[in-house]
Structure 1
Amino acid sequence: MKVLIMAGGYATRLWPITKDNPKALLPVGEKKILDYIMEKVGELGLETYISTNRFFESHFRPIAEKYGVGLIVEDTLHEEEKLGTIGAMKKAFEELGPDDYLVIAGDNLFSFSLSDFVRTYNGRTLIAVYDIGDRELAKRYGVVVLEGDRVISFREKPPEPASTLISTGVYVFPERVMGLIGEYLANGNRDSPGYFVQWLLERGEEITAYRFSDYWYDIGSADSYLEALRTLLKESHIEEIQISPYSKIIPPVVIKRGARILGRSIIGPFAYIGENCTIENSDVSDSIIFRDTVIKGSTIWRSIIDEKCEIRNLELKKSLVGGHAKIQRGE
């Protein structure tokens, strides 16, 4: 079995923060999304590859070297050119050769052990499923109906979900099934593995499910990104920073090297402050602030602010601010 981590998307739903940064490498607490995945993959001792695109290749090359894994690069530079997840799986299968494949979405944060998951594999397509508990939310995903651990119904993004049990972007596809991708791509959706799973079930393939609980996040929106931070940030990580004696830190937080917390500021809980940021007379909580950003006289809550921004005299709630933005209200 080989492991294939899919990180070839352009994450347009999270633009502008992912316009120049791959989603799999966004920080969640002290680590990046891909670090959490790689730690779980490391338990398996299997040959592992990251699939990405030419545009983000330079971002992933150091990560591949750090973890000693391979890199498969599709020759695309823009969203409209991309192969899609299924197309990229086909490319990997052709390059790496016949085998069973553990396929993991690179923007997936999940609670279960991959060792436990793989142990349940019985030679048939295996999917990880999670009860999202809300039929409205379930409409965004592949909705599953089970008999025991056997999948009897799978509908990708249904308008009327039959359950709240959803597929989560972790699969084992047998070698024989990987060989069917070319046939599927003749008429199928190239981007979402859920449509491939639905197609397999409709043609009579047997599919089994691995159920888990605790947590799962598909980092596809600002809300899910911030919720993942709340779940996974358990303790504070504070590097070499400058902090005023009148400022207060409410854990847990991550404050990276070179940050300056000045005046009467309150940081936290659940705040990520990037390298060389300046926070002065401001409150920041439930938010992610990327490197080299300046925030003065402001309140930031449940917001994501990209690098090299300037925010002055504002109250920002549930906001997403692109890099290099300068926003201020007159004093």
Structure 2
Amino acid sequence: MQSQEVSVAVGIVLAGGYGTRMLPLTEHRPKHLLPVGPDPIVVHQLRRLAGAGIADVVLATGFCADQFEPALGDGSRWGVRLRYAPEPEPLGTAGALRHAYDAVADLPEADTLVVLNGDLLSGHDLRAQVSAYESSGAEVSIHVRQVADPRAYGSVVLGVAGRVQAFVEKSPNPPSDLINAGTYVVSRSVAASIPSGRKASWEHEVVPGLIERGTPVVGFREEAYFRDIGSPSALVAASVDAVLGDLPGAAGAGGRAWIAATADVDPTARVDAGSAVHDGAVIGPRAQVSGSIVMAGGVVGGGAVVRGSVLAPMSVVGAGARLVDEALADGEVRSATRPTV
């Protein structure tokens, strides 16, 4: 689909939540700062917004909120002006959206809000979604796409001219194979109508309520790259996509592996299949690292094998040990005989 020009808008990235499905990697950090290829998950969102011509972005944060600003600064590295809206308490998806809106309500550009779920990566045409929203006269646009099994997602029923007729969140009997793909364009009036300072759900309360009241909500359908990063295995898959060039817009993509300049990889080691090796990591002699993530300070000992796995910072796979489809916690040691922490 050809990109369209986007009028002024403000971006909101929802980056709260505890990331419990991502444990043990989220014991000490928010999942949105976990790496996908060279960059944290949330950086891919910032880069997408900047690429769509959206310069002002607010990050709605929750768990470990104090870690975001030291990692991301003012956002200028990715072409955005970044503000932060840490939740005073968990507010849910709609409550977080309202809290973030309050942080940018003074901007005239906030008449149109482009809202991204911070743990979903999409390659759809964001400019085109905003353009379609602007010409539709709707109050909300929802990116939708078709999946074989929609039970794990919110399902969306579209009617004439893409009008959303039903929105059902995570049902064992979904009414449609079109799912909510987690990118929205939202009017100022809808954001301002969400109650301030209390917990509220966008998926369970706000969107169904808008539809019930007859407020125009439309679907923007485009089949494009999409990945829900909810577990360590999904994180590995997304990172491999970023390194191999399958994630649109990812930096440092296109090689067999991405290795940070400060990592120490023995020349006899094999690092491939989209692996990412971060700052200060060490890969020993004849080690094999395939389709995996070795975070900062991680160590893979001589002759060890790591496949489809994640090493959290300062974790160790000892000499001759194997780690397959697993995630090690910070500082955890996997030896050839038994794990220790």
TM range (shorter): 0.7 to 0.9
Matches within 5 A, 1:41-52: 41-42=49-50, 43-52=52-61
Partner of 1:307: 313
CA contact (8 A) 2:14 2:61 kept: yes
> For residues 12 and 66 of structure 1, do their structure 2 counterparts lie closer, same or farther at Cα, with a shift above 3 Å needed?
same
Deviations 1:161-215 (A, max 9, x none): 22221111111122222233229x98xx735545532232233322111111121
Matches within 5 A, 1:218-257: 218-234=228-244, 251-257=255-261
Structure 2 unaligned regions, length at least 5? 1-8, 246-250
Mapped pair 1:57 → 2:63 = no
TM-score (norm: length of structure 2): 0.82
**Distance in 1 between the 2:21 and 2:283 partners?**
28
**Distance in 1 between the 2:126 and 2:201 partners?**
24
Mapped pair 1:259 → 2:267 = no
What letter is aligned with 1:278?
Answer: V
**Distance in 2 between the 1:316 and 1:170 partners?**
35
Report the 3-state secondary structure (helix = DSSP H, G, I; strand = E; otherwise coil) of the residue aligned with 1:37: helix
Matches within 5 A, 1:94-113: 94-97=102-105, 99-113=111-125
Mapped pair 1:276 → 2:280 = yes
**Distance in 2 between the 1:203 and 1:110 partners?**
30
Partner of 1:210: 220
**Distance in 2 between the 1:193 and 1:19 partners?**
27
Partner of 1:247: none
- The Cα of 1:270 is off from its aligned counterpart by 1.0
Mapped pair 1:326 → 2:333 = yes
**Distance in 2 between the 1:256 and 1:199 partners?**
48
TM-score (norm: length of structure 1): 0.84
Query: Which residue, out of 140, 146, 150, partners 1:131?
Result: 146
What letter is aligned with 2:314?
Answer: K
Q: For this pair of structures, how many residues does the alignment match? A: 310
Higher relative contact order (CA 8 A, sep 6+): 2
Matches within 5 A, 1:8-157: 8-42=16-50, 43-53=52-62, 55-67=64-76, 68-76=80-88, 81-97=89-105, 99-121=111-133, 122-124=136-138, 125-132=140-147, 134-135=148-149, 138-147=150-159, 148-157=161-170
What letter is aligned with 1:65?
Answer: D
- Identical positions, percent: 25
What letter is aligned with 1:29?
Answer: G
**Distance in 1 between the 2:238 and 2:15 partners?**
18
**Distance in 2 between the 1:191 and 1:328 partners?**
44
Partner of 2:5: none
- The Cα of 1:46 is off from its aligned counterpart by 4.6
> For residues 2 and 278 of structure 1, do their structure 2 counterparts lie closer, same or farther at Cα, with a shift above 3 Å needed?
closer
Mapped pair 1:179 → 2:192 = yes
**Distance in 1 between the 2:204 and 2:70 partners?**
28
Deviations 1:284-321 (A, max 9, x none): 11111111111123211111110101112322221011
Deviations 1:25-79 (A, max 9, x none): 2222233322222222113245321121373234235524133424233354xxx
Partner of 2:297: 292
Report the 3-state secondary structure (helix = DSSP H, G, I; strand = E; otherwise coil) of the residue aligned with 1:120: helix
CA contact (8 A) 1:61 1:71 kept: no
CA contact (8 A) 1:167 1:194 kept: no
Structure 1 unaligned regions, length at least 5? 239-249
Report the 3-state secondary structure (helix = DSSP H, G, I; strand = E; otherwise coil) of the residue aligned with 1:204: coil
